[in-house]
A and B are shown apart, each in its own frame.
Chain A
Amino acid sequence: MSRALGLAWLALLVTLPAWMDDPYCLHVLIVTGIFVIAAMSLNLLLGYTGQLSLGHVAFFGIGAYTSALLSLGFDLDVGGGRTLLVGPHPVWLAMLGGVAVAGLFGWVIGRLSFKVRGAYFVIVTISFAEVVRLVALNWIDLTQGPMALNAIPPLSVSIPGLWELTFYKKVPNYYVVLAVAAFSYLIIRRLVRSRAGRAMVALKENEPLAASVGIDVTHYLVVAAVVSAAMAGAAGVLYAHYVRIIDPDVFLFIYTVTMVIMVITGGKGTLAGPVVGGLVFGIVPEVLRELAAPEVQWIVYGALMILIVFFLPRGIVPAVTGLWARITARPPLVERRPAE
């Protein structure tokens, strides 16, 4: 039954361009989809391993800038009168590069988390994102700083020299984002249900105990960090080639906060949580654009977040699930511990 629902949902999304051809709607869904991917990646760190990484937007931005720079080509004065010249690369290759570099930074953060925990880790991750933003802002030779990286080539796939397919229009971009989102969902689901996933949850619940049982804490933290960062990087890559312009403001803390809101209100530690949260917080601002000033909207989101933390501490999805279970008078599949 649930399988059918899931497939029906997917069918709805796949056929959507056929029955909703308003390009602006598609645009909103594409950008929302990109944020959903980023939220899912944050959920892996935040919800499943319990690491409050508040610098997550750094991976998003690093993926975006790397892919953009590789696809545009750049030259960099490396001192001593020499220049590093990198020619423009095919977009799909640049995209892979973006994901890889983001994952690399994820590895660094993962290793760092071994040394510092809790509140210190939060501060380090925030500082990391700020440093990356300031570097992007000031290293004008490389990133163009506030002048922004413009005219980034659109998404395309190609076989070098033989064939190239470029996605200029909204509909193909929508499908690419949908495909990456679905793929990311499956990866996370796979990971969470594997041994690695169970180890991560053990880590979140009680780290010393997990370590004492022989779970290699560092190893799993690093795995989670790398996958999470790479996925956020993938979202950033899609963003760069869809919006086709990026500037250092992409690293602003407010975007991390947006992702955090999506994950927390949707339900951290659940698979559907970030999807729901992402859809809600991606689409609602657009709908409310006519009705309320952006500041008022944000005040509402802030209040919403506080209320959810107070009353629905595990988020919308678990709350609705619990309600649904009570309504259908069937016991939940897994005994959940009561909310704090």
Chain B
Amino acid sequence: MKRISATSTLGLAALALAWAGAAGAAETIKIGVNEPLTGAVAASGNYVTDGARIAADEINAKGGLLGKKVELVIDDNKSNPTEAVAVAEKLIVRDKVPVMMGAWSSTYTLAVMPKLMEYGVPMVVETSSSGKITVSGNPWIFRISPTSEMEARAFSGLADKFGIKKADFLVVNNDWGRGAGAAFAKMLKGKGIAVGVTETMDAGAQDLSAQLAKIKASGADTVFLTTGVEQITLVLKQAKALGIKARIITTGGSSAPNQLIAQAGSAANGSYHILFFAPWFPQSAPNPGVAQHFVDEWNKRGLNFAGLTEGFRGYDGIMTIAAGIRAAGKAEPDAIRKALWGVHVKGVNGNISFIKQGPAGKESGQNVPNVYVVEIKGGKVILPKL
């Protein structure tokens, strides 16, 4: 019975702590950042967040937004959709952010979307590629990254130049991988190119020899690979070890080719990568000044060069949000939402603006970005000669 008094005391203390911890706010404009900083796709999440920080610092150096400093509230969704939802809830309810950016993988973004509807907070989607995101009638979503369909369409011309006769797919087992596999398969079939096997892999799987053995036996000349950079490294190494001769083309833009060269060594040679920013050739970007400036700032901070291919997403995302806040005139979710429809941002990838997508009356915003293809040859990244 004395136990209950023990419970009371401790419980009260715990509650008091919680109450104290929940208090407190400062006079800044907060932007939420919901990214995977640990877990299976941590490399990418960290690159995107680094890019976001560069953008925020640049804005603050120029005087901030609406007279106040920009504060990024960065939270780790641990490469997990349930955690992404918890992070979104925390950012909205506890930190009271009027807008956020996230959540990297299509699965996490799809998971977060109901929360955006529930609380009425807009989110700029910087990486996710599943078509479902912008057509499910969620007016709080604004995506600057391309859908897998757009990627496949942009690649369509190159399929002929590569001379692909039969292609296999090796994709990560989630909305992103499966969506990309489906979109590219549809595009290939539309051109009369044969599709071989489609193998999936768990995001955290390290031993892919079983899938690769099947791909080797299928006789395809090309393998489309869609997954995070850590797993691409594993696939390249293991494919080489198994003596697979098919050319590997990665999709999704998260392949960080320099990281592949560093970690997979010569196994990376001969692979092709679809990207949305080519930091080796910033002058060929639609806004060369912005691109060069971003690359310089990234290098000045001593960040890993390999991360530029993804870091720009965070940069463009925050810049887009900033433009929305400026146009809205206040840091208020619905005002920002309305304002985002009218923004024109000169981003690293290109010019960013939103078109309507999805069911009438509940459209989401979608940007039409640029797509690049590079090749790794002799330990270097080059523009392929096709």
Residue contact A247 to B80, C-beta cutoff 8 Å: yes
Most buried by A among B10, B83, B110: B10
Instruction: Decide yes or no whether B1 CB sits under 8 A from chain A.
Output: yes
Q: How far is the CA of A220 from the CA of B86 in the complex (A)?
A: 39
Most buried by B among A12, A146, A148, A283: A146
Instruction: Decide yes or no whether B217 CB sits under 8 A from chain A.
Output: no
Q: How far is the CA of A1 from the CA of B2 in the complex (A)?
A: 9
Residue contact B22 to A24, C-beta cutoff 8 Å: yes
Residue contact A324 to B18, C-beta cutoff 8 Å: no
Residue contact A5 to B5, C-beta cutoff 8 Å: yes
Instruction: Decide yes or no whether A102 CB sits under 8 A from chain B.
Output: no
Q: How far is the CA of A161 from the CA of B48 in the complex (A)?
A: 50
What DSSP secondary structure best describes chain B's contact surface?
Answer: helix
Selected contact of B82 from candidates A250, A286, A320, A333, CB within 8 Å = A250
Residue contact A279 to B107, C-beta cutoff 8 Å: no
Residue contact B11 to A243, C-beta cutoff 8 Å: no
Selected contact of A283 from candidates B1, B8, B17, CB within 8 Å = B17
List residues of chain B with CB within 8 A of the CB of A272: 3-4, 6-7
Q: How far is the CA of A116 from the CA of B12 in the complex (A)?
A: 42
Residue contact A249 to B80, C-beta cutoff 8 Å: yes
Selected contact of A287 from candidates B7, B11, B17, B202, CB within 8 Å = B17
Q: How far is the CA of A324 from the CA of B7 in the complex (A)?
A: 12
Please count how many residues in chain A sit with their CB below 8 Å of the partner chain's CB atoms: 55
List residues of chain A with CB within 8 A of the CB of B5: 2, 5, 324
Closest to A24 in B: B94
Instruction: Decide yes or no whether A160 CB sits under 8 A from chain B.
Output: no
Closest to B15 in A: A283
Residue contact B89 to A146, C-beta cutoff 8 Å: no
State whether A276 and B21 are in contact (beta carbons under 8 Å apart), knowing that A146-B107, A245-B85, A333-B1 are contacts in the complex.
Answer: no
Residue contact B14 to A1, C-beta cutoff 8 Å: no
Instruction: Decide yes or no whether A325 CB sits under 8 A from chain B.
Output: yes
Closest to B113 in A: A150
State whether A147 and B1 are in contact (beta carbons under 8 Å apart), knowing that A247-B82, A286-B18 are contacts in the complex.
Answer: no
- Digitize A110-146: 1 where CB-to-B-CB distance is under 8 Å, 0 elsewhere: 0000000000000000000000000001101000011
Closest to A16 in B: B15
Residue contact B85 to A9, C-beta cutoff 8 Å: no
Residue contact B4 to A24, C-beta cutoff 8 Å: no
Residue contact A150 to B93, C-beta cutoff 8 Å: no
State whether A148 and B18 are in contact (beta carbons under 8 Å apart), knowing that A9-B4, A245-B85, A279-B11 are contacts in the complex.
Answer: no
Instruction: Decide yes or no whether A290 CB sits under 8 A from chain B.
Output: yes
State whether A276 and B10 are in contact (beta carbons under 8 Å apart), knowing that A150-B110, A249-B80 are contacts in the complex.
Answer: yes
- Digitize A245-275: 1 where CB-to-B-CB distance is under 8 Å, 0 elsewhere: 1110110000000000000000000111001
Residue contact B107 to A283, C-beta cutoff 8 Å: no
List residues of chain A with CB within 8 A of the CB of B83: 249
- Digitize A69-87: 1 where CB-to-B-CB distance is under 8 Å, 0 elsewhere: 0000000000000000000
Instruction: Decide yes or no whether A20 CB sits under 8 A from chain B.
Output: yes
List residues of chain A with CB within 8 A of the CB of B154: none
Residue contact B10 to A146, C-beta cutoff 8 Å: no
Residue contact A24 to B93, C-beta cutoff 8 Å: yes
Q: How far is the CA of A147 from the CA of B11 in the complex (A)?
A: 37
Selected contact of B14 from candidates A12, A245, A280, CB within 8 Å = A280
Instruction: Decide yes or no whether A316 CB sits under 8 A from chain B.
Output: yes
Selected contact of A316 from candidates B1, B10, B94, CB within 8 Å = B10
State whether A276 and B173 are in contact (beta carbons under 8 Å apart), knowing that A146-B203, A243-B85, A287-B21 are contacts in the complex.
Answer: no
Instruction: Decide yes or no whether B114 CB sits under 8 A from chain A.
Output: yes
Instruction: Decide yes or no whether B81 CB sits under 8 A from chain A.
Output: yes
A24, chain B: closest CB distance, angstroms: 4
List residues of chain B with CB within 8 A of the CB of A137: 202
Residue contact B85 to A280, C-beta cutoff 8 Å: no
List residues of chain A with CB within 8 A of the CB of B4: 2, 5-6, 9, 272
Instruction: Decide yes or no whether A217 CB sits under 8 A from chain B.
Output: no
Instruction: Decide yes or no whether B174 CB sits under 8 A from chain A.
Output: yes
Closest to B90 in A: A24
Residue contact A244 to B114, C-beta cutoff 8 Å: yes
State whether A320 and B6 are in contact (beta carbons under 8 Å apart), knowing that A249-B82, A279-B11 are contacts in the complex.
Answer: yes
Closest to B86 in A: A243
Residue contact B90 to A5, C-beta cutoff 8 Å: no
State whether A324 and B6 are in contact (beta carbons under 8 Å apart), knowing that A27-B89, A243-B82, A243-B85 are contacts in the complex.
Answer: yes
- Digitize B65-109: 1 where CB-to-A-CB distance is under 8 Å, 0 elsewhere: 000000000001000111101100110011000000000000100
Q: How far is the CA of A43 from the CA of B341 in the complex (A)?
A: 54
Instruction: Decide yes or no whether A166 CB sits under 8 A from chain B.
Output: no
* A residues at B contact (CB < 8 Å): 1-3, 5-6, 8-9, 12, 16, 20, 22-25, 27-29, 137-138, 140, 145-148, 150-151, 243-247, 249-250, 270-272, 275-276, 279-280, 283-284, 286-287, 289-290, 294, 316-317, 320-321, 324-325, 328, 333
A-B contact pairs, 7 of them (CB 8 A): A2-B5, A5-B1, A8-B8, A27-B93, A147-B174, A151-B114, A244-B85
Since A2-B4, A287-B18, A290-B21 are in contact, a sample of 6 more A-B pairs with Cβ atoms closer than 8 Å, ordered by chain A residue number, is A22-B19, A145-B174, A147-B81, A283-B18, A324-B5, A333-B1
